[in-house]
């Protein structure tokens, strides 16, 4: 597949994933009981869409751990921003409870851990791929 068509297809996939995420979050705010489903669905759609997008842009058709790691990190970050924006910027009535504050605080720690492990494992992977210098 030519490089230009590959980029165009990747752009279309990214637009579709973003549109679906925004649509599901909008539909989830119609009733406060649906917010949990909306946030979870956003995470699943983002994970699968990112995995499909990254695999489409890679040279091989096999999934490797780097692609899954990128999809997980992207999904966690999108869910985090969705959750924080829904709980702080909407007037659904549950954002001022202790439970909402605890959920945001703990999810902030969880996203921080995921991001640290993403970059940490990436650094270790790059270090192990370097050719070893012969000792004198």
Tens digit of each residue's pLDDT (9 = 90 or more) over 62-83:
777 778 888 888 898 999 888 8
Residue 93 pLDDT: 61
DSSP-derived secondary structure letter, 92: -
The CB density around residue 6, as the number of other CB atoms within 10 Å, is: 12
* Long-range contacts (CB closer than 8 Å, 24 or more residues apart) made by 118-121: 118/69, 118/70, 118/72, 118/73, 121/69
This prediction has a pTM of: 0.75
Tens digit of each residue's pLDDT (9 = 90 or more) over 30-65:
887 788 888 899 999 999 999 999 888 887 777 777
């Amino acid at each position: 597949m030519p490089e230009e068509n590959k980029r165009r297809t990747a752009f279309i996939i990214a637009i579709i994933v973003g549109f679906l995420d925004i649509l599901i979050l909008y539909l989830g705010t119609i009733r406060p009981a649906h917010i949990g489903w909306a946030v979870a669905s956003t995470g699943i759609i983002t994970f699968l869409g990112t995995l499909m997008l990254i695999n489409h842009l890679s040279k091989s058709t096999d999934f490797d751990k780097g692609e899954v790691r990128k999809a997980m990190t992207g999904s966690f970050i999108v869910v985090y921003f969705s959750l924080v924006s829904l709980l702080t910027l909407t007037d659904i009535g549950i954002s001022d409870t202790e439970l909402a504050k605890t959920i945001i605080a703990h999810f902030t720690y969880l996203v921080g851990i995921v991001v640290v492990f993403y970059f940490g494992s990436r650094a270790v992977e790059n270090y192990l791929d370097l050719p070893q210098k012969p000792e004198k």
